[in-house]
Each structure stands twice: as C-alpha cells, then as structure tokens.
Amino acid sequence: MDIIGTSLKRVDAFDKVTGKAKYTPDLIPPHALVAKVLHSTIANGWVKEFDLSEAWKVEGVVDIVTCFDVPDIQFPTAGHPWSTDPKHQDIADRKLLNARVRCYADDIAAVVAENEIAAEEAVKKIRVTYEEFTPILTMEDAMKEGAISIHEERPNNVVVKSNYEIGSFEESIKEEGLTKVVGDYETPIVSHCHIESANSFAYMESGKIVVVSSTQIPHIVRRVCSQALGLGFGDIRIIKPYIGGGFGNKQDALTEPLNAYLTTRVGGRPVVLAYTREETFACTRTRHAMKFHIESYVRKDGSFAARSIKAYSNQGAYASHAHALVANAVNGFRMMYPVGAIKSEAYTVYTNMATAGAMRAYGIPQIGFALEAHVDDIAKQTGLDPLKLRTQNMMKLGYVDPLTTITCHSTGLDECIQRGEQYLSYTKKRKEYAKQTGPIRKGVGMAIFCYKTGVYPISLETSACRMVLNQDGSLQMQIGATEIGQGADTVFAMMAAQTIGLTVDKIHVVSKQDTDVTPYDTGAYASRQTYVSGMAVKKTAESFRRKLLEFAGFMLKKDPWDLDIKENYIVHTNKNEHLLSVADVAIESCYSLTNSTHIAAEESHHCTDNTYSFGVCYTELEVDIPMCQIKILDIINIHDSGKIINHQTATGQVHGGMSMGLGYGMYEHLKFDPKTGRMLNDNLLDYKLMTAIDTPELHADFVETDDPTGPYGNKSLGEPPTIPVAPAIRNAVLNATGVAINAIPLHPERLFDAFTEAQLI
C-alpha cells in the first residue's frame, strides 16, 4: 500500500491540540535566573562608559555583563553549513555584546537576576555614555564617499560586490529591432513574525554548556556557540524541542551564544534569555530590503535578446547571511529566463538598520517581485501576451545553469501556467478589464517562479538518520532535520513506513533534536528537508529493512533476498502470505538464545545534486481607486514540487506561504524613525500581520512531476508559495488601473501616491 501521496494526519497534531507539545518556555527549570539585554538608544557610535552603580543596587541582581567584559572574539551567526575554506566562511563581525554600536537597539550589556522584574529594573538603571554618529539608514548614504565605516573591516560599507555575465551583453544589444524596457523596483524590510518569540535557556551539566532553544538549526547553533565562546564543538550541547515557527529567523544564532556565555558567569545555573515581541522584531533578523534596476532588450517575437540587472541589498548592522541573499536573487533572475545575454552586478551594503538575514525563500520573493513585474512591463510596452512571453523565455527541461550547474531534471511549469489560465480565464479577463473606467475596477494578474531545492553546490549538505527497533516491531526514528511546523516529522514517518514496509503507526518519530544524541543534519532551511534529509531517511530505511530481512531469513531458514516486508509482516517476495510478523522478528532478535542482536541502522547522505521546483500565482482583484484599497476576489497558487508526499500538509504549506505573500504584497513593512534609526512598529498591533478577516479564501493546486533526483520524486515546497503572490497582485493592479507600481507593499498610502501621479484621483 502506498503511504506516500496520501493525506496522513500529522504525527504531532494530537500533542499540539491538547497542549502536550512542549516548547522551550514550557521546559524552563524552576528557579531559573532571568537575563535581560540592555539595547543601545543610538544607532551609530561607540559605548564609551557604563555607570552600573544604581543597577547593582536592585535586589535580586546576580550579574551584570557589559560589552567590555565579553570574550574578544568576533563570530558569524548565519545558519549556513560551515565552510572549511576560509574564503567561503560566513563573516565574523560581532561579539556577544558590542561597544561599537551599529544599529538602534544593538546589544551592549546584559543583566542576570533572580527574576524578570529585577532584571528589567536593573537594565533600566544602567547609565551609558556614548560617542554618537549620525545614523546611516540608506544604502546610498552608506556607499557615499567619506561615509563612516560601520565595520572597520569594510571601509566603504560594501559587504560584498559580485558580478557575472553570460554571453556578451554589449554585443547582444546591438541587434537590430530590439525594444528596450527599463524598470526600477523596490521591496521592503519585513519581519518573520513566528508566534513564538526568540528564546532559550542555558545551564551547565557534565562540564558542558547546554542550551535549550527555539531554533531551526541545532547543530549549526552548536558550532556558532563554540566559535563565539572559543570552546570546542563538543563542549556545547543544543536541545531543540517543538518550536513556534521560524521562517528563517531561527536559521541564525540569536539568543543562544550570549545565553551560553551568561550561564558560565553564574556557575552554570539555568539562565532564561527570552526576547520580548519588541526585541524579536528589532533585535533578531529581518527580510532584506532590495532595490533592482533591470534593463531588457526584447525581439519582436518576444524572445529576450539581452537583460541586465543591478541589485542592492540592505544588510543592516551585521552580516548574518550577508551576500548569499542577493546572490540568490540575481541567480534567480538568470535561471527563470535563461535566454540571451545576461549581465548582473550585485551589492550587499551595511547600514545602521536592523540586521537582515534569512527569510522564507531567501531573496527570491524580492527578485520575484521585480522580475515578474518587469515581465508584465515588457508585455505592456510591446503589446505581447504575458503568458506567451513567459512560456517562450522561461527555463525548460534539461536546462543546465552555466554558473551553478544546477539542472532542470523535471518541470511542470507549463502545465501550472495552463491550469491557472483555465482556472481564472486570465487571458479573456485581462483583455476585458483593460478597458475599464470608473472608480472601482477589476484586474487579473499572474506571476511565475523557479526555486532550487537545498543549497548544493554551494555546500555538500549532510543529513543523517537513525532507526532503532523495539521488541514489538515498532521503531524509533531520529533525524537531525528539524520539525518547525512544516510537517517534516510526518513526511519522514511516511517515508520510513513506505520504504521498510511498515504501517505508519509503527514509526515513532523522536521530534526533539539533542546534539549529544541526534545524528547530524544542518537543519530546516532552503526547503531541503524532504529532498536532502529525505534521502537519508530512505537510505536508513533500506538498511534497516535489509537487517530485518536478514534476521527473518535466519529464523525462517530462507534466503533474505526471497523475502519482503508488507504492512508489518514478512512475506515471500511477490506473495502476500504472512510468514512471520515483524514483531516476531523483533522479539526473537532481542531474546534469541542463539543469535540475539539489536537491530538498528544509521546512514548519512550528502547531496550532490539539486533540482528546481516551479509554480504560479493567479489572482483576480478589485481596486477601489478613490479609497486606495485592493480587495482580492480570487487567488490560487499552483505548484510543481515534484511528487507530493502528503497532500494535506503540502496544501497547508501553500496556504501559509500565500498568506505571507499577500502580507508582503499588500500590508507588511517595518518603519524606522529617519532621525534615530529606531524601529517604529515593533509590535503585532502596528506591524500589519494579516488576520483571518484580512485573508481571502486561499486555493492551492499541484502539478505533480516525478523528479528523478528526489528520494521519492519530490522537490522543494516549504518556501516557494510565498514567492509569486506579491507580483501577481501588482500585475493585477496594473491590469485594473493601467498604473505600474514598482514598490511593495501596495498599501493605501502607496496607492494614493501612484493614483495621484497617474491622475486617477
């Protein structure tokens, strides 16, 4: 019986609907100390001096640590697999606490106290003397001649600049009869808004520092903590229980390194470092704001002769994932339409803004907005059909990317586009709606995307899995890959059951990762887990199955190659007659008087391939021009993520991604005070996270391909649904009103400016 492809209920759902699922705050030991961080009230400058005298007087204060006390070690925080090549290592540009203040609310000191109130009181009583510089909040100001260096290692504030060119751009644009289309596009800084804030608690046990944390990447956080404290990897132990969402923010070391250090200062007593919602907004990571300048040269038949892009990515105060984001964006620019000459220039720039890091789909929602808006701009300027423009120029089966060698092993993109066209009657409506007048107008829009699966060849990602047989024929499965809400544990259980020949109820997934116990895996990011970690599960299941059959062969005195496992029973290959139950094999293997053995398997997998998933968003909406408001009437995402392992959880991923895309396109952006650099809407009231009433009915569909490189024909899915939504909305507004708006979110203020300029109001 096929388990893959069903809608199995989540293996963790019961615990989550009953409150039994434990998250980091539910595991804090009684009488733990509480730490609070003192954040700077300037955005750019130096801490010159602290006056701690009043703070020390607060009853219950146990320790106060300042930026002058912490180890003199700069460390990187990005949740990338570590590179042993120094040239490819993440940028080590911060200490646990920093005297050089690089953003408003930078971490400059910390208090450990007997309780939260005492810690908060003491933090308030620390007096700080600063040397203050004018905050540098824009990339333009940061790159100006003579601008103050935010990090001395990068005097011009450019973290990294990179270029590539495919073919000759300058030669290609000399061709006769080309239409030149130019556009500038801009995307905002937004926040992940996982409902569980960044938090951890740390203590010492058996000579080690143990950090229990809400993280997507326990093994990477262990490495970062060891680097930050100058200790061995084995001196740190990270435990990751259930986590209340991450979306890339927790693909970074956040509270853990400082907390690991704080517990060493108080004799290893447990210390809680839980960020408030406001700190989670301002002091963790954000999505990079990017600016793009795109020039396209298009032939009369619609084919792209040459394209160029200049991309600028606002890194904020610290490098975190740094240039990897905009590099991914400009690679996406090339991969989506890999025809003609293509030229790129990309910059990542330090500013005194909140630090940007990984967020769902890693630079691709940014380029996705710019590129797909631009394709509709090409369609508008040339009169060509937007669907034909896309299908004509987009990536095709067999494409090998010249710079990364990533190959298109399967694609259902054409069918995604066709299915969406049929669903919405896009072409017919687009023509009809282009002729509207009056205050309320309808529009249709669409956008496509491609997305890699994992990070190969940038890193040879390693994943491991362990399976241990119980005497009743069930097994424990440990995976280094993490459940962060996306349903990883459930699909891993399905993969194991299918490959071994057991029913899913026999698979006990150990959801918690503990770096002292759990096999290695780099964690949840890059939509890699079903693809990379899934292969580790498959290999382990195959190995486990072989061991079970060998023992069954011993018991039955038969050649194991003639045996098979079907729904918890040993059978003859291609026959259904039950010879033994797996439970019989399990109990005999443990307690046999002649041949007892413990059946277990552990395998690791390193991924030496990559593949593209694809998809579209189509939407129909209504624009109230005088009110400057958009109402979504219909919206659908159609994805080719290869073979779908679990339809219900896959659909849930698409819904959640669409919702994040709707927020990105219409509501969300972080605001900063231009004078001080302080984040202004660092809370869930003023930051417009969509509620249920703001969210339209969401439709999801799949075009299932069978990818030859995926363990079960599957490709990336977790992040992609976020990508095409914002440009589809923007293109629908263009269809409705004729106004091309090149920045998001399309909130009323922006629509007002755009419609005023277009003399619609």
Partner 1 sequence: MAKKDITCTVNGKVRTYSVDVRESLSDMLRGQAGLDSIKHGCDVGECGACTVLIDGKPFNSCIYMAIWAQGKDIVTLEGLSDTKGAISDIQQAFIDEGAVQCGFCTPGFIMASIPIISSETEASREEIRRQISGNLCRCTGYENIVNAIEKTQKKRIAEKKSK
Task: List interacting residues with partner 1 (CB under 8 A).
Answer: 7, 9-10, 12-19, 21-23, 25-26, 117, 192-197, 242-245, 247, 276-277, 484-487, 648-649, 651-652, 655-660, 683-685, 689, 691-695, 697-698
Buried b (16+ CB within 10 A) or exposed e, 263-272: bebbebbbbb
Own/partner contacts of 27-31, CB < 8 Å, gap of 24 or more, are 27/201, 27/212, 27/241, 28/201, 28/270, 28/272, 29/201, 29/203, 29/270, 31/270
**Nearer of residues 225 and 507 to partner 1, judged by Cβ:** 507
Given a contact cutoff of 8 angstroms between Cβ atoms, the answer to whether 76 and 225 are in contact is no
CB of 193 to partner 1, least distance (A): 5
Nearer residue to partner 1 within complex by CB, 659 or 735: 659
Query: Is 654 or 746 the residue whose CB approaches partner 1 more closely?
Result: 654
* Min separation Cβ 718 and partner 1, Å: 11
| 61 and 110 Cβ atoms separated by less than 8 Å | no
Min dist. Cβ of residue 653 to partner 1 (A): 8
Closest to partner 1 by CB, 204 or 658: 658
Min. distance of Cβ 309 from partner 1 in angstroms? 31
User: Which C-beta is closer to partner 1: that of 119 or that of 734?
Assistant: 119
Nearer to partner 1 by C-beta: 302 or 718? 718
CB of 679 vs partner 1, minimal distance in Å = 15
Query: 3-state class of 246 per DSSP?
Result: coil
Residue of 195, 151, 199 whose CA lies nearest to 37? 199
Q: Write down the least CB distance from residue 194 to partner 1, Å.
A: 6
Q: How far is the CB of 197 from partner 1 (least distance, A)?
A: 7
By C-beta, is 287 or 545 nearer to partner 1? 287
Whether 236 and 71 have beta carbons less than 8 Å apart is answered as no
Q: Three-state SS for 49?
A: strand
Considering beta carbons, is residue 9 or 88 the nearer one to partner 1? 9
Q: Residue 330's Cα: distance from chain center in Å?
A: 17
Q: Using the minimum distance from each CB to partner 1, give the nearer residue, 52 or 684.
A: 684
- Find the shortest distance in angstroms from Cβ 29 to partner 1: 13
By beta-carbon proximity to partner 1, the closer residue of 410 and 649 is 649
Please report how close the Cβ of residue 32 comes to partner 1 at its closest, in angstroms.
12
Phi and psi angles of residue 142, each rounded to the nearest 5 degrees, phi first: -65, -35
3-state secondary structure 433-501: HCCCCCCEEEEEEEEEEEECCCCCCCCCCEEEEEEEECCCCCEEEEECCCCCCCCHHHHHHHHHHHHHC
Q: Which residue has the tokens 């005070």?
A: 673
Please identify, using beta-carbon distances, which residue of 586 and 698 lies nearer to partner 1.
Answer: 698
Nearest-approach distance from CB 243 to partner 1, in angstroms: 7
The answer to whether 287 and 356 are in contact (CB under 8 A) is yes
User: Are the CB atoms for 576 and 566 separated by under 8 Å?
Assistant: yes
The helix or strand, by DSSP H or E, that contains position 408, with its residue range, turns out to be none
Q: How far apart are CA 106 and CA 100, in angstroms?
A: 9
Cβ proximity to partner 1: between 338 and 487 the closer is 487
Q: How far is CA 515 from CA 19, 219, 429, 480, 600, in A?
A: 25, 6, 55, 8, 19
CB of 692 to partner 1, least distance (A): 4
Q: Three-class SS of residue 533? A: helix
Q: Do 581 and 473 contact (CB within 8 A), yes or no?
A: yes
Sign (positive or negative) of CA dihedral 20, 24, 27, 30: negative
Q: What type of residue is 743?
A: A
CB of 273 to partner 1, least distance (A): 15
CA dihedral 281, 283, 238, 250 (to 10 degrees): 40
Residue 212's Cα: distance from chain center in Å? Answer: 21
Q: Give min distance, CB of 214 to partner 1, in A.
A: 9
Closer residue to partner 1, CB minimum distance, 487 or 642: 487
Residue 164 burial (CB count, 10 A): 15
Compute the least distance from the CB of residue 364 to partner 1, in Å. 19
**What does 576-622 look like in DSSP terms, one character per residue?**
--EEEEHHHHHHHHHH-SS-----EEEEEEE------EEEEEEEEEE
Q: Are strands 569-572 and 563-566 parallel, antiparallel or unpaired?
A: antiparallel
How far, rounded to the nearest angstrom, does the alpha carbon of residue 595 sit from its chain's CA centroid? Answer: 48
Structure tokens, 190: 């937004």
Q: Please identify, using beta-carbon distances, which residue of 489 and 640 lies nearer to partner 1.
A: 489
